[in-house]
């Protein structure tokens, strides 16, 4: 789309009769290259439309609480950029976020993956415009794994071959529910079910379902049947072995790539290979984007800037500058010459956005405790451990 056409599309929002020019304030959690990208987009928006944009950096830990406190008093920014989707539930419940479905064009929505859209949907409303996605994929040391295995079963066999006195085949932070969920979900488990409208149902917890039990058993087999993940392995241990070049395959996220490159490790990124029956692996994914202050007095300019920074061209420039994985499918295709971005993009096509309802906070502790029992005790009852976790999550 040319700049002229983009300007016309954005100016169409102003048909409500409000004028540009009041100026905007944006609170963001971005840093480094992504912050530079946002400041550049703000400058280009100001140049194109004459609307000043003041970008203010806040820590992720303080932004949601600050918004909840300040927005009703008229003391918060117009837009909030870089808030992970799983943190919007409390903000939406608090009434401080605007429903942005009225501002999202059909073209923008059609270009989003379904999972990215669901991530910013809460109680049936769209409370933000997604910009990029992130989550784990299979990262391989290409010096040890020159050709990707075709199936999960082949991957495990290869990992066993590569587990020697000097190298390890496959390892990751298995006791961490964020990473372990890929096993429970792939085999049929789920955290929360959804109703007919697509909204999450907090009382429908599927972490002790038949599929979840099969997935947890497959996870347990990595330690006790295949001898791939020794007791005591956590994120730091697995990541450190990969940095040292002695681990062939790890399940990790894009945040680790720069560390691996700095260490001189040659890597490739791909989805975890499907099971022999064709079942695709898919775990958690995160989505970040832009949210609007319900109490903003300048919603038209705010909506136009939100659309400006989430357009496909903007997501392409963000990916090129910072390595972020576009939420726009068109933008993802446009950066197809970057194998790392493409690898994560393909892996996350089948991922599930981490639940964004407040009740997700009750899941982490019980799920982690169940994983500890399952992974540390050879004779543990997988089903019983998961049932206890679900009972605790539901408060029973």
The answer, yes or no, to whether residue 191 has pLDDT greater than 70, is: yes
Q: Write the pLDDT tens digit of every residue in 111-123.
A: 988 888 889 999 8
Q: How crowded is the C-beta side of 393, counted as CA atoms within 13 Å?
A: 27
% of the chain surpassing 90 pLDDT:
84
Q: Residue 8's pLDDT is what?
A: 39
Which residue's entry shows tokens 């409303």?
A: 125
**Residue 20 — pLDDT band, cuts 50, 70, 90?**
very low
Residues 248-287 have pLDDT tens digits of 999 999 999 999 999 999 999 999 999 999 999 999 999 9
The DSSP-derived string for 321-384 is: HH--EESBHHHHHHTTT-HHHHHHHHHHTT-EEPP-SGGGGGTHHHHHHHHHHHHH-TT--HHH
What superfamily does domain 3-133+286-353 belong to in CATH?
A: Periplasmic binding protein-like II (3.40.190.10)
Q: Is 183 exposed, middle or buried (0-12, 13-18, 19+ CB in 10 A)?
A: buried
Coil, strand or helix at 258: helix
Radius of gyration of the chain (CA): 22
Q: What pLDDT is stored for residue 391 in this prediction?
A: 98
pLDDT higher than threshold 90 for residue 152: yes
Confirm whether 3-133+286-353 and 137-284+356-393 share one CATH topology: yes
The predicted structure's pLDDT at residue 15: 32
Domain boundary assignment for the chain: 3-133+286-353, 137-284+356-393
DSSP structure string for 107-176: HHHHTB-HHHHHHTEETTEE--EEEEEE--EEEEETTT-SS--SSHHHHHHHHHHH-SSS-EEEE--TTS
Q: What is the pLDDT of residues 301-318, one digit of tens each?
A: 999 999 999 999 999 999
How would CATH label the architecture of 137-284+356-393? Answer: 3-Layer(aba) Sandwich (3.40)
pLDDT digit string (tens) for 131-151? 999 999 999 999 999 999 999
C-alpha 163/C-alpha 11 separation (Å) is 60
Tokens matching residue 37:
């990208």
Please say if the pLDDT value at position 341 is more than 90: yes
CA 245 to chain centre: 27
**Rounded average pLDDT over 154-168:** 97
pLDDT in tens, 29-67: 999 899 999 999 999 999 999 999 999 999 998 999 999
Mean of the per-residue pLDDT values of the chain: 92
| pLDDT class of 9 with cuts at 50, 70, 90 | very low
Average pLDDT (188-202) is: 92
Alpha-carbon dihedral of residues 265, 271, 272, 277, nearest 10 degrees?
-150
Residue 11 has pLDDT above 80, yes or no: no
Of 21-25, 37-41, 99-103, 138-142, give the lowest mean pLDDT range.
Answer: 21-25
């Amino acid at each position: 789309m040319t700049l002229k056409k983009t300007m016309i599309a954005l100016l169409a929002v102003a048909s409500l009769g409000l004028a540009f020019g009041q100026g905007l304030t944006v609170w963001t959690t971005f840093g480094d290259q992504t912050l530079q990208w946002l400041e550049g987009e703000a400058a280009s928006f100001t140049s194109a439309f004459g609307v000043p944009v003041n970008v203010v950096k806040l820590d992720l830990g303080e932004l949601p609480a600050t918004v909840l406190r300040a927005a009703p008093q008229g003391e918060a920014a117009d837009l909030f950029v870089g808030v992970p989707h799983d943190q919007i539930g409390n903000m939406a419940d608090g009434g401080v976020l605007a429903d942005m479905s009225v501002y999202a064009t059909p073209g923008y929505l059609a270009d989003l993956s379904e999972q990215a859209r669901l991530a910013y949907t809460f109680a049936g409303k769209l409370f933000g415009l997604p910009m990029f996605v992130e989550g784990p994929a299979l990262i391989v040391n290409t010096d040890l794994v020159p050709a990707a295995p075709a199936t999960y079963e082949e991957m495990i066999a290869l990992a066993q071959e590569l587990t020697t006195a000097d190298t390890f085949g496959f390892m990751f932070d298995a006791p961490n529910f964020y990473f372990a969920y890929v096993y429970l979900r792939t085999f049929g488990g789920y955290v929360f079910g959804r109703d007919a409208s697509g909204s999450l149902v907090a009382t429908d917890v599927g972490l002790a379902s038949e599929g979840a039990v099969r997935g947890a058993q497959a996870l347990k087999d990595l330690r006790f049947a295949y001898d791939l993940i020794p007791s005591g392995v956590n994120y730091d241990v697995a990541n450190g072995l990969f940095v040292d070049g002695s681990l062939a395959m790890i399940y990790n996220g894009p945040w680790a790539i720069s560390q691996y490159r700095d260490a001189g490790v040659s890597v490739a990124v791909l989805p975890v290979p499907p099971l022999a029956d064709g079942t695709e692996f898919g775990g958690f994914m995160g989505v970040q984007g832009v949210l609007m202050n319900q109490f903003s007095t300048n919603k038209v300019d705010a909506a136009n800037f939100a659309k400006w920074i989430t357009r496909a061209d903007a997501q392409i420039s963000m990916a090129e500058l910072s390595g972020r994985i576009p939420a726009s499918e068109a933008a993802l295709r446009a950066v197809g010459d970057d194998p790392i971005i493409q690898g994560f993009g393909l892996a996350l096509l089948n991922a599930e956005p981490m639940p964004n309802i407040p009740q997700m906070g009750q899941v982490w502790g019980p799920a982690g405790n169940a994983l500890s029992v399952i992974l540390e005790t050879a004779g543990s009852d997988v089903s019983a451990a998961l049932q206890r976790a679900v009972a605790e999550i539901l408060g029973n």
